[in-house]
Structure 1
């Protein structure tokens, strides 16, 4: 297995649409294994979408593991959310958007139903709620070329931009400089 570089905003590749997986061959199995390896070795990472990664082909694949012990891997290939219920308004962050620095509240469905295939191409349907539902919606946004910050009001984006620029200036200065 190998780690895959996580793309960082504003990399234009983060806006790519994912490519549907048609053949579940060794190449796809390696991509999935490498995605899980990258997820498990990245601090504070709950999930990754293939479109977030430095891959030649941005496959329609997401890997998720919300367990404390990293022992409940969930792979969704070609996921499609088919129903939305309720509402939640919770903080989200992203490994591609100033990780561990920016988190903002985003409105999502509380309960979703997603149709997908497992890593071997077997179709399944999953009803998810709460944090898992939020996570799947976030990753499906990535697969559709979206970022969670796209869901924020313009004024919030401007505030984030100012915070990021200030943080970058602070990091460029040496210790003790003002």
Structure 2
């Protein structure tokens, strides 16, 4: 089932998500719905809060060399904790909750991630490049933060101006 994605400036996006404690069929169905929602929106990542569920769950499906996203590449990340972040990289990010806007954001280049899978089993993942960036972007959502909050003051003001203009054009 495709779920509605909450968009900026909805206050729900500011909510800090709670830990997942039940790894049951309800969670599994929700994760499946998140995947369907993300794919239908051409996203590479989606946090549960973006579909109005404030739990510490996110999914990622990084495209392969041909730009294809297959379910085999899907990573379901529950209760994530970043360890040992290193380096810095600038990457142009977008967000399904801030449609149509892309800005350069500085993130850690590599990291170790500890998390649980859909069955509650502990997992560890070493991430770099786009995967590391996407993990950080989605974990920010779980903390109630959007990528636009990482912009400099002037770039944030420019974003606000462009966003208001885009909203007027839609009406």
Greater fraction strand: 2
Work out which of the residue numbers 47, 52, 55 in structure 2 matches 1:49: 47
Unaligned runs of 5+ in 1: 173-178
How far apart in 1 are the matches of 2:134 and 2:69?
18
Within 5 Å, give how 1:111-126 maps onto structure 2. Answer: 111-126=110-125
Within 5 Å, give how 1:1-150 maps onto structure 2. Answer: 2-43=1-42, 45-55=43-53, 58-67=54-63, 68-71=68-71, 72-97=73-98, 99=99, 101-150=100-149
Whichever of the two has the greater Rg, that structure is 1
How far apart in 2 are the matches of 1:83 and 1:18?
23
Count, aligned residues:
166
How far apart in 1 are the matches of 2:164 and 2:86?
38
Task: Please provide the CA RMSD for this pair.
Answer: 1.1
- Could you tell me whether the CA contact under 8 Å between 1:40 and 1:70 is conserved in 2? no
The offset of 1:70, in angstroms, is 2.2
Unaligned runs of 5+ in 2: none
The offset of 1:122, in angstroms, is 0.6
How far apart in 2 are the matches of 1:31 and 1:9?
22
